[in-house]
Amino acid sequence: MINPLDSLRTALDGRYAVERLIGQGGMATVYLARDSRHDRPVAIKVLRPELAASIGSDRFLREIRVAAHLQHPNILALYDSGEAAGFLYYVMPFVEGESLRARLDREEQLPLPDAVQITCEIANALHYAHTRRVIHRDIKPENVLLQEGHALVADFGIARAVSEAGGDKLTETGMAIGTPHYMSPEQALAAEHLDGRADQYSLACVFYEMLVGQPPFDGPNAMAILARQSMESVPSLQVVRNSIPDELEDAVMRALEKTPADRFPSVREFADSLCDVDLGPAARRTSSRAMRAVRRSTPRGLKTQQETRVPGARFWAVALASLVALAGTGFGAWQVWHRSGVESGAIAMGLDPHRIAVLYFQTDGDGDSLSYLADGLTEGLIRELNQVPGLEIISKTGVEIYRGDNVPRDSVARALRAGTLVTGDLEQRSGRLRVNIRLVDGGSGADFERASFEQSAGNLPSIQDTLSGRVADLIRERLGLEIRLREQRNRTRSTDAWAVLQRAGLHRKAAEAAAHKSDSAGVKREFERADSLLARVETLDPSWVEPIIGRASIAYRQSRLEGDEPLRASRWIEKGHSHVNRALKLAPQNPDALELRGNLRYWRWLLSLESEPAAARALLRSAQTDLEQAVRVAPNQAGAWATLSHLYYQTGNLVDVKLAARRAYEEDAYLSNADVVLSRLFYVSYDLGQFSDAVHWCEAGQLRFPADPKSVECQLYLLTTRSQEPDVARAWKLSDSLVKLATGSDRDYQRFNSRMMVAATIARAGLADSARRLAQRSRGSPEIDPTRDLIYAEAFVLTLLGHREDAIKALKVYLAANPEKRTALSEDATWWFRALQEDPRYRDLVGLAQ
């Protein structure tokens, strides 16, 4: 096979001495070479052959001459371009410095003066090009080089060359030039005419990342990023970095407006608004508008937050701005988005074919005896497809409620917002197993691809491999994706071990069903059977880590069910620790084992089983370390993200709470405790004063879990904010609903708490006397509310009414019951008490008085 490097050397021999490959991306490959004529190092970028063929050399070279005429101190020059032996290439200086991406990877956040200087220099380059009607189209940290502290914009005009030269052909294939994290909304939608405001948006995204360490919108794939970009407001810079002056925040937010007409008229004006900001005292002060939040105490009813909940058929899904999938990534590369050419009922209905639901396989013949195998094959296929970039796979929890044939397939697809369904069935005859697979169009419910295979029933792991490969082939044909399923690590090759593991899984499911019915005897019986089978798997294949993790998981689950009896829970925690430590000896970086050990340690901390404060702090740190390592190893580890979102409440960082909860929900919207994660996203947004996000997450919870009390409570809390009109009648109705939904001893507390939120709504409506009387009647008693959270809520009502002295008195009562909260209030006060922050009496109360 001919080596492309050797071919390029031959083609450019005499002009450039090509030395080595230095980078590769979606549209070009980069080589280090020496310019023979001028004896200088250069970087040669060679277009990928398929792109070069579609564009044609004449048009490409004609357009690239435009870039060659750009001469500016902040633009990396274009030395040369040409065609040789079928290669389309262009030549630029080889810069010894580093890229902005390399610096961000190393430092994460840049000092304010550095970030402003770099942004203004990029803006100067862009303004120069815009006045010559050249739009860059791909501003990102990878395309900004830093030489002796100054910015050089690289690849200037190349995106234009590709776009303009490719013209109609690129349009026909649905390709767009750009990188999703930095692409303006109009560019993402492949607008026919772009102007300099598209580059301005991209530059603002880069500046945003320099300040806070990440772009404004992130997500697991291009579609998720587009959805956020189109539906969500830009997160405040000052939430993450409160030293950012108001003027910088205002300028960035304007440049990131979704509509070009709402941005600065030119990139020069954007730069002027940044460069005029005084970065002396302003850069060191805390902004008067910086979001402030106090650590919320461990949510009431923590021990009842069951993790076995199976979501109902109601769903929430973001409407995507466009149906695109990322087709190319890499070092210094153009990111090419390709809209699939598939035409189907799914697309017609707005369903994305790349969002796939694998429904549980059915069984024919000996149905009961094959059910464990059908479940194992289904869940294994979900796990493997979930590792494929470019696909969004519904989790097993999301599809579990659609077992059986009683729900029409197109209805399932609409409920899950899945453009493609994978269904199948198994039948066994004469020692052989036949597997029938179908790919179903989500919009119409019609089959569009079918396949079958038959293998000996004696080699079950091989059947799993064959199934994954066949489904990958069908999806590749359907979507035009190049599917490469990863080899599943630590898989057993023992048929008996694999089969017994699947049987253990059935007993675990039976135990969870018994827990849902409060059948403690059934829980004990089924978990014991599952554990016994997993122990047998260990003997069949001692090197397989999965059965050990399964046994640790059972012990952890039983410790959660014993949460009201800490000593009994402690015994299960110790048993789980013993198993998970054995698993980590076999596989030190197994993300499931790391997540499980983090969960066990955190649960032990929550139950206060460590009496020594130093030991308790060390336990919390070790839990955090395990969970963070789990998501480093496997960024899609939704369960670990969910636990981290709760743990970060204890460390007082509400921004981290929100980011972790968001990652959990993005990675698996059908997580078993998705109701809790959605509620957490609402409350942390509420606490941070990000009310538009709070509304969004409350509505998401209502759609997914309409009967959940948390979906009602969030509506009541929103009435206390400026995001809603103070509708007193609605507040009373919501309060009554909450009390009816509450159970047991929680009902009395909920009655008083919900009425306190009604009082806050009445205060917002201007009915001061009525609000104060209701708040006084809703204080409860220490028996109902030993932590005096109701007094804390009353202080909020009094603050809304402007009764500062009485509000501070109420907070004194609260702190007397919770002296450990004084530090939290002094460090970062919630928006509830923003009006009190400069009051000397409040500052004295929380220990801030000088």
Distance between CA 199 and CA 282 in Å, rounded? 28
Residue 497 near residue 537, CB atoms below 8 Å: yes
Query: Integer distance in angstroms from the first to the last C-alpha of the chain?
Result: 77
Q: Is 82 helix (H, G, I), strand (E, B) or coil?
A: strand
d(CA 332, CA 338): 19
Integer Rg of the chain from CA: 30
How many CB atoms lie under 10 A from the CB of residue 844?
12
Q: Which residue has the tokens 């004449």?
A: 58
Active-site pick, 35, 58, 138, 465:
138
Alpha-carbon torsion 699, 703, 708, 712, what sign?
Answer: positive
236 vs 248: CA distance, rounded Å:
11
Which amino acid makes up residue 327? A
Whole-angstrom CA distances from 251 to 195, 254, 264 are 19, 5, 9
**Short-list 322, 293, 71, CA closest to 191:** 322
Q: What is the 3-state secondary structure of 460-501?
A: HHHHHHHHHHHHHHHHHHHHCCCCCCCCCCCCCCCHHHHHHH
Residues 6 or more apart from 488 whose CB is under 8 A from it?
380, 383, 384
Question: 718-725: long-range contacts at Cβ-Cβ below 8 A with a sequence spacing of 24 or more?
Answer: 718/686, 718/691, 718/694, 719/757, 719/760, 719/761, 719/764, 720/757, 720/760, 720/761, 720/764, 720/796, 720/800, 721/686, 721/691, 721/694, 722/691, 723/691, 723/692, 723/694, 723/695
Residue 615 CA, chain-centre distance (Å), reads: 33
CA distances from 60 to 124, 161, 165, 179, 392 (A): 26, 6, 5, 21, 35
Q: Which two tokens stand for residue 170?
A: 């690129």
Residue 423: in which H helix or E strand, if any? Answer: strand 420-429
Contact, 640 vs 600, CB < 8 A?
no
Contact at 8 Å (CB) between 55 and 69?
no
Our answer to whether residue 364 is catalytic in this structure is no
Please give the helix or strand (H or E) that residue 436 lies within, else none: strand 432-441
Helix (H), strand (E) counts: the chain: 36, 17
CA distance 196 to 218: 23
Q: What is the Cα–Cα distance from 201 to 255, expressed in whole angstroms?
A: 6
Structure-token match 């460390």, residue found: 651
Sheet holding 144-147, edge to edge: 98-99, 144-147, 150-153
C-alpha torsion angle, residues 198, 199, 202, 207 (rounded to 10) = -140
Q: What are residue 519's phi and psi, to 5 degrees?
A: -95, 85
Q: Which amino acid is at 787?
A: T
User: Which phi and psi angles does 447 have, rounded to 5°?
Assistant: -70, 135
Catalytic residues: 138
